[in-house]
């Protein structure tokens, strides 16, 4: 089935297209979530949550608007909610994010089985670096940067998802990159 | 080229937005300045790591997992509806009880206005019937 046909069938409430819808969009949703949480297990859980929301709220989707915009928005919101919950869980424990980070290292270390231990170590350290660097960005910069880097979406698509002008998105991405550069370069000075 | 200029152009270089001439000026500085070379290397490593994360794919069972979870949620939703249905039936039974008792009360008043001695027997009978009905309704 073509994408438009699939969506029409989904909106019409035909459950037999659910599998096709998932197969069509899961990589996009997963990559988006990965861009926020940087861990395969969490990104998979979030992808599941996103599709459950999509199927459960399909009546609130307005036909004529882009389905991909709608699903990306759900994925971004689910990811941000996940990060907020995690933050609330991590901060009261005293040591803050660095204790959380070491737990994460353990969790990420077994997700890529094809890598050597050294590569795995490096990959998990880099995931941690990405996670901590992106976490320092203001929320809108983070969303715009993640959608452009992980999903390689155009400024036009991002502006539809974030309900901003293209100019605003351009400026958010520009400032995000500047901030990341400053943040990362300050790390090698120390 | 000064280090500050190198730093300003660094992001454009990473984004592949420099002209050949600008790029060769950057490369010249990089060869003479280990500090800027290190900074470029560090930024390249960061963006390389993002590129690596982009290539991670979800497990093949994910689609089935999602469909299973959706089916489970639907089932739970239906159970909730059943429970709600029971509560609804109790609510209807309670409404009937109030209506009957109200009706009896009004009938009682009318009777009291009409005659003064025939009332209690009928009232007792109606009341018993009403209680039985309601009892049956609640048991179902
Ligand atoms: Zn320099």
Counting the structural domains of chain A, the total is: 2
Contact between chains at B42 and A185 (C-beta distance less than 8 A): yes
More confident position, A145 or A87: A145
Any domain includes A107: no
A84 Cβ partners below 8 Å, 6+ apart? none
| pLDDT score, position B15 | 93
Residue B32, token pair as written in the block: 């003479």
Contact between chains at A31 and B54 (C-beta distance less than 8 A): yes
**Rounded Cα distance, A56 and A108, in Å:** 31
Closest by CA to B62, choosing from A49, A9, A107, is A49
Residues of chain B contacting A123 with CB distance shorter than 8 Å:
49, 52
* A82 and A132 together in one domain: no
**Residue finishing a domain among A71, A88, A105:** A88
**Rounded Cα distance, B29 and B40, in Å:** 11
Sign of the torsion formed by the C-alpha atoms of A155, A160, A161 and A166: positive
Tell me the CA–centroid distance for residue B6 and ligand 1, in Å.
7
Residues of chain A contacting B49 with CB distance shorter than 8 Å:
123, 126-127, 129-130
Residues A28-50: pLDDT tens digits? 999 999 999 999 999 999 999 99
Can you list the alpha helix ranges (DSSP code H) found in A38-91? 40-56, 67-90
* A84 and A122 together in one domain: no
Identify any residues that bridge with A65 across adjacent strands, giving them in sequence order: A63
A82 pLDDT exceeds 90?
yes
**Residue finishing a domain among A88, A105, A135:** A88
| pLDDT score, position B129 | 56
Residues of chain B contacting A41 with CB distance shorter than 8 Å:
none
Any domain includes A97: no
Any domain includes A110: no
Any domain includes A17: yes
* A6 and A83 together in one domain: yes
**Rounded Cα distance, A32 and A72, in Å:** 8
From the list B43, B53, B70, which residue is nearest A184 (CB)? B43
A18 pLDDT exceeds 90?
yes
More confident position, A96 or A153: A153
* A148 and A67 together in one domain: no
* Domain membership of residue A60 as a residue range: 1-88
Which residues of chain B, if any, have pLDDT below 50?
119
ipTM: 0.80
The 8-class DSSP code of residue A59 comes to: G
Any domain includes A103: no
**Rounded Cα distance, A175 and A173, in Å:** 5
**Residue finishing a domain among A88, A108, A133:** A88
CA angle B47, B51, B55 (to 5 degrees): 165
pLDDT confidence bin for A98, thresholds 50/70/90: very low
pLDDT confidence bin for A103, thresholds 50/70/90: very low
A134 pLDDT exceeds 70?
yes
A125 pLDDT exceeds 70?
yes
* A72 and A21 together in one domain: yes
More confident position, A119 or B105: B105
Dihedral, CA of residue B113, residue B114, residue B118 and residue B124, to nearest 10: -50
Residues B15-36: pLDDT tens digits? 999 999 999 999 999 999 999 9
Any domain includes A41: yes
**Rounded Cα distance, B66 and A49, in Å:** 8
| pLDDT score, position A107 | 44
* A77 and A21 together in one domain: yes
* A127 and A81 together in one domain: no
Q: Around ion ligand 1, which residues have CB less than 5 A away?
A: B 3, 33, 36
Any domain includes A149: yes
* A21 and A84 together in one domain: yes
Average pLDDT, whole number, for chain A? 85
* A81 and A9 together in one domain: yes
* A60 and A133 together in one domain: no
pTM above 0.80, yes or no: no
Top-ranked range on mean pLDDT: pick from A94-108, A119-133, B2-16, B125-139? B2-16
**Rounded Cα distance, A106 and A41, in Å:** 12
**Rounded Cα distance, A146 and A141, in Å:** 8
């Amino acid at each position: 089935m073509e994408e438009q046909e699939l969506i029409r069938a989904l909106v019409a409430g035909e459950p037999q297209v659910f599998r096709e819808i998932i197969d069509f969009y899961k990589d996009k949703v997963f990559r988006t979530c990965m861009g926020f949480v940087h861990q395969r297990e969490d990104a998979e859980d979030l992808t599941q949550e996103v599709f459950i929301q999509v199927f459960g709220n399909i009546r609130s989707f307005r036909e004529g608007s882009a389905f991909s915009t709608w699903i990306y928005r759900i994925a971004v919101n689910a990811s941000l909610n996940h990060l907020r919950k995690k933050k609330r869980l991590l901060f009261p424990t005293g040591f803050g994010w660095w204790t959380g980070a070491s737990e994460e290292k353990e969790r990420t270390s077994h997700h890529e089985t094809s890598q050597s231990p050294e590569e795995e170590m490096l990959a998990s350290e880099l995931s941690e670096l990405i996670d901590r660097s992106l976490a320092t960005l203001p929320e809108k910069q983070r969303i715009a940067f993640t959608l452009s880097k992980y999903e390689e979406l155009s400024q036009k698509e991002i502006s539809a998802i974030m309900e901003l002008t293209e100019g605003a998105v351009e400026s958010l991405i520009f400032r995000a990159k500047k901030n990341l550069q400053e943040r990362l370069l300050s790390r090698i000075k120390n | 080229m000064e280090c500050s200029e190198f730093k300003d152009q660094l992001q454009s270089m990473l984004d592949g937005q420099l002209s050949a001439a600008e790029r060769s000026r950057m490369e010249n500085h990089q060869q003479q300045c280990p500090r800027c070379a290190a900074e470029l290397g560090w930024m390249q490593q960061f963006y390389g790591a993002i590129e690596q994360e982009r290539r991670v794919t979800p497990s093949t069972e994910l689609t089935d997992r999602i469909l299973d979870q959706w089916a489970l949620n639907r089932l739970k939703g239906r159970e909730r509806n059943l429970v709600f249905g029971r509560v609804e039936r109790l609510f209807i039974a309670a409404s009937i009880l109030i209506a009957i008792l109200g009706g009896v009360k009004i009938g009682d008043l009318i009777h009291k206005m009409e005659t003064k001695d025939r009332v209690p027997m009928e009232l007792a009978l109606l009341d018993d019937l009403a209680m039985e009905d309601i009892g049956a309704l609640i048991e179902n």
